Structure 1
Amino acid sequence: MPPRILIVSVGGSCDPVVNACREYRPDFVYFFCSGGPKGSSVTVDGQGDPCGDQRTISCPECGAKVPLGNPRGEAIVRRLNLARDAYDKVEVDDPDDLAVCYRELVKVENEIRQRFGPDAEVVANYTGGTKTMSVALALLAVLRERWDLSVNKGPRLDLIKVRGGDIPVLADKLEVVVEVYRAQVAGFLRRYAYDAADEILGQVTTKQRLTGELREHFLRARRLCRAFHAWDVFSHREALELLRGVGGEKVAPFIEAALDLAGEGRRATGYEAVADLLLNADRRAAQGRYDDAVARLYRALEMAAQVRLEQQWHIASGNVDLEKIPAALRERYRQLRDSDGRIRLGLTRSYELLADLGDPVGQLWRKQRARLLAALEARNGSILAHGTTPLGPSDYTRNASVFKGFIEDVLRTLNVRTRCRQLPQEELLAM
Structure 2
Amino acid sequence: MPKALIVSLGGTPEPVIKSIETHRPDYLYFFSSQDSNSKEYPNVKKKLDEAGVNPKIESVIVDDVNDLVLCYDKAHEIASKIEKEGIPPDSVVVDYTGGTKNMSAALVLATVTKGYSFSYVGGKERTKDGLGIVVSGTEEVKPSLSPWQVLLVEDRKKMALFFNSYQFSAAKDIARKLTAVLGGLDKAIYESLSELIEGYRLWDSFEHKSALTTIEKSKDKLAEHLRYKADSILSGFLERVNLSLGFLKNMSDKTRNFKDIHTCLIFDLFYNAKRRAQEGKYDDAVARLYRALEMIGQVEFQKKFGCPTSDVKVEELPESLRDEMKRKHTAHDGKVRIPLYDTFRVLREANNRFGQLFFECEDEINKILAVRNSSILAHGVTPVSREAFEKLSAIVDDFLKHTGANYLVEFPKLSWE
Length-normalised TM-score, structure 2:
0.70
Match of 2:392 among 376, 387, 403: 403
Once the two structures are superposed, what CA deviation does each residue of 1:339-390 show, in whole Å capped at 9, x if it has no partner? 333322222222233233332222222222222222212222233222244x
Q: Which residue of 2 aligns with 1:68?
A: none
- CA shift in 2, pair 1:345/1:377, >3 Å: same
Match of 1:171 among 144, 147, 154: 144
RMSD over aligned CA atoms reads 4.2
- Residues 1:142 and 2:112 aligned together: yes
Measured after TM superposition, the shift of residue 257 of structure 1 is 0.4
Q: How many residues align?
A: 365
Q: Which residue of 2 aligns with 1:6?
A: 7
Q: Which residue of 1 aligns with 2:160?
A: 186
Higher mean Cα deviation, 286-295 or 276-285? Answer: 286-295
Match of 2:194 among 222, 241, 248: 222
Contact 1:285 1:396 (C-alpha < 8 Å) held by counterparts: no
Give secondary structure in 1 for the equivalent of 2:253.
coil
Task: Give me the whole-angstrom Cα distance separating, in 1, the residues matched to 2:314 and 2:412.
Answer: 45
Task: Give me the whole-angstrom Cα distance separating, in 2, the residues matched to 1:216 and 1:114.
Answer: 23
Q: Which residue of 1 aligns with 2:253?
A: 263
Give secondary structure in 2 for the equivalent of 1:406.
helix
Q: Which residue of 2 aligns with 1:72?
A: none
Q: Which residue of 2 aligns with 1:333?
A: 325
Contact 1:141 1:148 (C-alpha < 8 Å) held by counterparts: no
Measured after TM superposition, the shift of residue 106 of structure 1 is 3.7
User: What residue identity is the alignment partner of 1:424?
Assistant: P
Task: Give me the whole-angstrom Cα distance separating, in 1, the residues matched to 2:281 and 2:102.
Answer: 40
Contact 2:122 2:134 (C-alpha < 8 Å) held by counterparts: no
- CA shift in 2, pair 1:363/1:156, >3 Å: farther
Task: Give me the whole-angstrom Cα distance separating, in 2, the residues matched to 1:86 and 1:159.
Answer: 32
Once the two structures are superposed, what CA deviation does each residue of 1:190-245 show, in whole Å capped at 9, x if it has no partner? 332334433432343355223x3x34533442342233233222232333344444
- Residues 1:23 and 2:19 aligned together: yes
- CA shift in 2, pair 1:300/1:198, >3 Å: same
Measured after TM superposition, the shift of residue 128 of structure 1 is 7.3
- How does 1:349-388 map onto structure 2 within 5 Å? 349-388=342-381
- CA shift in 2, pair 1:120/1:291, >3 Å: same
Contact 1:153 1:168 (C-alpha < 8 Å) held by counterparts: yes
Q: Which residue of 1 aligns with 2:230?
A: none
Give secondary structure in 2 for the equivalent of 1:382.
coil
Q: Which residue of 1 aligns with 2:414?
A: 426
- CA shift in 2, pair 1:166/1:189, >3 Å: farther
- Residues 1:198 and 2:172 aligned together: yes
User: Computing the radius of gyration over CA atoms, which structure comes out larger, 1 or 2?
Assistant: 1
Q: Which residue of 1 aligns with 2:340?
A: 347
- CA shift in 2, pair 1:179/1:161, >3 Å: farther
- Residues 1:107 and 2:73 aligned together: yes
Measured after TM superposition, the shift of residue 262 of structure 1 is 0.8
Contact 1:20 1:167 (C-alpha < 8 Å) held by counterparts: no
Task: Give me the whole-angstrom Cα distance separating, in 2, the residues matched to 1:115 and 1:316.
Answer: 62
User: What residue identity is the alignment partner of 2:253?
Assistant: G
Contact 2:276 2:285 (C-alpha < 8 Å) held by counterparts: yes
Match of 1:293 among 285, 291, 307: 285
User: What residue identity is the alignment partner of 1:343?
Assistant: V
Task: Give me the whole-angstrom Cα distance separating, in 2, the residues matched to 1:383 and 1:366.
Answer: 27
Unaligned runs of 5+ in 1: 32-43, 46-74, 94-100
User: What residue identity is the alignment partner of 1:233?
Assistant: S
Unaligned runs of 5+ in 2: 22-27, 45-58, 221-237
Task: Give me the whole-angstrom Cα distance separating, in 1, the residues matched to 2:5 and 2:150.
Answer: 24
Length-normalised TM-score, structure 1:
0.68
- CA shift in 2, pair 1:354/1:233, >3 Å: same
Q: Percent identity?
A: 25
Task: Give me the whole-angstrom Cα distance separating, in 1, the residues matched to 2:143 and 2:376.
Answer: 56
Q: Which residue of 2 aligns with 1:61?
A: none
Give secondary structure in 2 for the equivalent of 1:30.
strand
- Residues 1:254 and 2:244 aligned together: yes
- CA shift in 2, pair 1:18/1:92, >3 Å: farther
Measured after TM superposition, the shift of residue 273 of structure 1 is 1.0
Task: Give me the whole-angstrom Cα distance separating, in 2, the residues matched to 1:201 and 1:345.
Answer: 47
Q: Which residue of 2 aligns with 1:414?
A: 403
